[in-house]
Amino acid sequence: MNTEGDSETTFEEDSQPNDEVVPYSDDETEDELEDQVPVVEPEQNRVNREAEENQKPFRKGNRVGTWRPDCTWHVKANDRSFQEQPQFMNTKFLCIKESKYANNAIKTYKYNAFTFLPMNLFEQFKRAANFYFLILLILQAIPQITTLAWYTTLLPLLLVLGITAIKDLVDDVARHKMDNKINNRTCEVIKDGRFKIAKWKEIQVGDVIRLKKNDFIPADILLLSSSEPNSLCYVETAELDGETNLKFKMALESTHQHLQRENSLATFDGFIECEEPNNRLDKFTGTLFWRNTSFPLDADKILLRGCVIRNTDFCHGLVIFAGADTKIMKNSGKTRFKRTKIDYLMNYMVYTIFVVLILLSAGLAIGHAYWEAQVGNYSWYLYDGEDSTPSYRGFLNFWGYIIVLNTMVPISLYVSVEVIRLGQSYFINWDLQMYCPEKDTPAKARTTTLNEQLGQIHYIFSDKTGTLTQNIMTFKKCCINGQIYGDHRDASQHSHSKIEQVDFSWNAFADGKLAFYDHYLIEQIQSGKEPEVRQFFFLLAVCHTVMVDRLDGQLSYQAASPDEGALVSAARNFGFAFLARTQNTITVSELGTERTYHVLAILDFNSDRKRMSIIVRTPEGSIRLYCKGADTVIYERLHKMNPTKQETQDALDIFASETLRTLCLCYKEIGEKEFEEWNKKFMAASIASVNRDAALDKVYEDIEKDLILLGATAIEDKLQDGVPETISKLAKADIKIWVLTGDKKETAENIGFACELLTEDTTICYGEDINALLHARMENQRNRGGVYAKFIPPVHEPYFPSGGNRALIITGSRLNEILLEKKIKRSKILKLKFPRTEEERRMRTQSKRQLEAKKEQRQKNFVDLACECSAVICCRVTPKQKAMVVDLVKRYKKAITLAIGDGANDVNMIKTAHIGVGISGQEGMQAVMSSDYSFAQFRYLQRLLLVHGRWSYIRMCKFLRYFFYKNFAFTLVHFWYSFFNGYSAQTAYEDWFITLYNVLYSSLPVLLMGLLDQDVSDKLSLRFPGLYVVGQRDLLFNYRRFFVSLLHGILTSMILFFIPLGAYLQTVGQDGEAPSDYQSFAVTIASALIMTVNFQIGLDTSYWTFVNAFSIFGSIALYFGIMFDFHSAGIHVLFPSAFQFTGTASNALRQPYIWLTIILTVAVCLLPVVAIRFLSMTIWPSESDKIQKHRKRLKAEEQWQRRQNVFRRGASSRRSAYAFSHQRGYADLISSGRSIRKKRAPLDTIVADGSAEYRRTAES
């Protein structure tokens, strides 16, 4: 039985985490780990399982197999009927069944022609406000309780539902078009024994398909054969991981040999048993049963949907997962419905208004019951023929007031918000300053519901490759024999600030893409005065695993990493061009002379070695080892007598200060006898049956020593334009930036310095450093815990001393250790036995709760510590870890988050954050398709947040405050009027005025303010990022602001009612008649209300345009025009029951003192507001008020200047990133000859096991 002490250590790691590797598969979620089948299972379970297996055997190819719990997905080639068998059918609804195998059609739309109307109406009536007004409409159809005509609610409700439905329809039509574009792509599928053109949506599991060069892969398929040697297939995975370098896949030998022709593919009847669909991009487990033989399948034989076929004329594959079951779709994460912080706040405020409405209606209903008992029952002239009790009349009046006061809950609020958001989205789309002409890519707001949240961001989580950087490596500088090359200088070694770039026209193999300005290096190469210079570039030309191809007579390189490709291309431009390679030779053009070298061994790169070497025999017969790698490993293996060691180290420090990625280059002469002895050890290690990689690494160590240092290369991982400026301005806006990347720690740290997220003044903490801090904090919290712990208020204790600039750099494996995540937990869970007694079950549950509480506290502590740092860089993290980090900050800091990335590995993070931004570029469109906003360059993020986000937030807050104010001012007049009409639910306005108030008379000015208003210009918004903090602190819209608007509306309604009431008491007109009738009184209040609310929005407007002015005065004019029409005799003749205020407007408004009453009412409403605004701006001005006051003086824009780093020799303590791939290169393919184009050999000449051999000796 597991003890409590054991349970607390269940999460502990048995070994130190490896910072160089991605820690674990993305699909190993906590739930899955807990749901693993235990080693020891109850006896009854075992009996039931064995009985079920005995009853349900199934056939695989020509053999009967037993069910395996980990491989339950079965595919039969060229047999669509196989998937329709009963055991593969799932019940969808009642008796309707469908196959568990998804078809290949992608569906992202929500509606079709038949479901749009019912589903859309159902979704809209799920909104509390819409459903509320539907109930109101029903109540207004009951004549006993209504005092308002039914059309006063129906027309606004239809308008709201119609506008929302049109918007949803437009969005869904766009989704239909995108789905159809993808689903109607074509490829070749075997049908009726022949390859025929078919659409992607017609592909099914089990189909055999043919793909050609540059085709997108339509589904997850098993590679059967290709046009390349040994059925290699090169794929570009930019859609998946944002990396543009090619990766290779290879078919099984048997399928490679027998499945090349169309007829053999048509008769292929293989059976596949594999894992269920999942999101593990790098793992696949399965077995192919064919020709009475089983063949193991792994990820190296699977082509994933979303990848592109490159450098392969054609290939054939068997569809295993289709459509929604493909890994790219599974890996996209759950689509979350995102709502803004203001949305939630707005809903709570609407609920508050509901409560106020019910309380007011109940109070007025009680007042009516009391009035009926005291006055109504004794007033014969009020008898209406109904002998109802006062309490019953009060009950009816409760519903009557619910109808009359319904405009307190603004029906047009939600649709107005949607219209404003839509307009703001178009402004983002139309912003030419966020348009990238190089890629012809504008900014795109892919959602219209999150704009104001762009003005409230606290944390930004960014990918690195392709997001901060261009993913383009450029050779910038080098150090050869202690001399640095790469500065601006002429052939005489004189430096110049302005000099033309080097002309490589003398080199026939130069590609013309390298921009280099040091003419002295060219002089050194051509003169040959220093043989080390030529040796340096020769090493770059031979020590690599790059593949070469010729396209239209031009050399084309395909490298395992962009760094390696940049180095080989640089050697090519400097006169040492890699031309061709065979299994055991490599051909290089050395300054125009072609020479071929025998390759004796390739010692490939991996993340532990951090270096690669090649051993070649020169045409003269001598043997040399050439090596390149990270300075940390190269310097340990250098010969003691290296005269340029210190000079090269100084150069490395300089390169590091310039954030360049470096490699050290060295060589070694090897004697014939020494090589033969080493070769024997190498051969023995190559055929080792266990721990082969470890044995090879040990043998490599024996030869890679006593090396002679040649120099170092410096490559620039080029940042996107404007990245440092953007990060600087976002930091001034109090936005913290975290970088989450799958790259190595050194690379991520270097990019942090390059983009100025880190500086020389930054104190960097690493994962191993903070582990002790977190452990100590956990111990302190445990010691403070106890019976009274929950009564003690939490105390915030900082982890670091105040002051200083700190940053955290942590790897994925270290992150797992700190957050008590995964991996080792699996092995320990498997050892647990089933609880047999109630006591054991109780203790198991208690132990599990303690583990969860410990894990939650540890995660909270980590978030608190990380948030004390000005910057955080998480490297070697998986897509799921990226999403986990975002979720932790959301959960424990309650902060608004934004995630930005460019690849499919960023999709989960983008969907988890409050706002997701996709970079559209060369790395694919998966991130963009899942994002809320997209653009082409990271630098546009500052304009999206500091300009559009801030403006949208300010506009929405002003809109909501004003909207609530104008509805309170309008509706509460009924409340004051009720004290003078016996609480009878009589309205204070004409019915048509109530109908059109929110639709026509007061809608346009507030909409335009929500669309166009701005406190300061876009240039000043960017110049003063500190203005952004008002959104982060929720200063412009909160419950305090809401109650201020409520109070303002109450006071305005009192003035609107009581001043006209006082003016109408005991008055006589010019004609001797008293105009103080109900209808004239209603017109007076309505006229004063329209003028007040429209002039009030004029006071709230910061940015005046002709459109704003026209809307305000136009709304007032529209009101008077419609009112005179509705009060005319002609319309009364046509519709006598609907228009009863005949002649009221013309009779009332011809009285001068009524106009004076209206003017006095408007003045009393607005003058206090003007006075308060003036005092506020004079005594307590905000930052935007100050900038507005001095905006003319601030017109001269201050240009941001990049910080100049002053290099101090020997002062830098950091290492530059080493420029290598994250995984092994193509050495195994090169050495085995599987990648070399040649006449196909018989099967017995091909290496059977497909393992990596690292050497081929020279043929004598």
- 1140 burial (CB, 10 Å; 0-12 / 13-18 / 19+) is middle
- Angstrom distance (rounded) from CA 862 to CA 836: 38
Burial of residue 20 (CB within 10 Å: 0-12, 13-18, 19+) is middle
Q: How far is residue 628's CA from residue 639's CA, in Å, rounded to a whole number?
A: 15
Q: Where does 767-827 show beta strands of DSSP type E?
A: 806-811
Taking the alpha carbons of 740, 744, 747, 753 in that order, is the dihedral positive or negative? Answer: positive
The answer to whether 996 and 1127 are in contact (CB under 8 A) is: no
**Calpha distance 486→484 (Å, rounded):** 7
* 3-state DSSP assignment of residue 1017: coil
Enumerate residues 6+ apart whose C-beta is below 8 A from 244: 236, 238, 471, 562, 922, 923
Q: How far is CA 1220 from its chain centroid?
A: 27
Single out the residue of 901, 923, 921 nearest to residue 912, CA to CA: 901
Phi, psi of 1153 (to 5 degrees): -70, -20
CA distance 563 to 62: 49
* Catalytic-role residue among 207, 325, 463, 717: 463
Asked whether the beta carbons of 726 and 942 are under 8 A apart, the reply is yes
Nearest residue to 26 (alpha-carbon basis) of 866, 909, 820: 909
Q: Which residues contact 504 (CB under 8 A, 6 or more apart)?
A: 510, 512, 514, 573
Contact 622, 675 (CB under 8 A): no
Exposure string for 170-182, b = 16+ CB within 10 A, e = fewer:
ebbeeebeebeeb
Whether 207 is catalytic: no
How many CB atoms sit inside 10 A of residue 150's CB?
Answer: 15
* Pairing mode of beta strands 246-250, 459-462: unpaired
What distance in Å separates the CA atoms of residue 856 and residue 888, rounded to the nearest whole number?
Answer: 10
Pairing mode, if any, of strands 314-321 and 469-480? Answer: unpaired
**For residue 1012, how far is the Cα from the chain centroid?**
28
Q: Which residues of 101-136 are buried (b: 16+ CB within 10 A; e: fewer)?
A: bbbbbbeebebeeeeeeeebeeebeeeebbebbbeb
User: 10 Å Cβ neighbour count for 542?
Assistant: 20
Location of structure tokens 């993340």: 607
Residue 970, token pair as written in the block: 């309008």
3-state secondary structure 219-241: CEEEEEEECCHHHEEEEECHHHH
- In b/e form, how buried is each residue of 1203-1238, taking b as 16+ CB within 10 angstroms? eeeeeeeeebebbbbbbbbbebbbbbbbbbbbbbee
- Contact by Cβ (8 Å): 271, 83: no
CB-hemisphere CA count at 13 Å for 173? Answer: 6
- Where are any strands of DSSP class E within 410-501? 444-445, 459-462, 469-480, 483-485
Q: List the Cα angle 69/75/81 in 5-degree steps.
A: 125
Question: What is the set of active-site residues?
Answer: 463
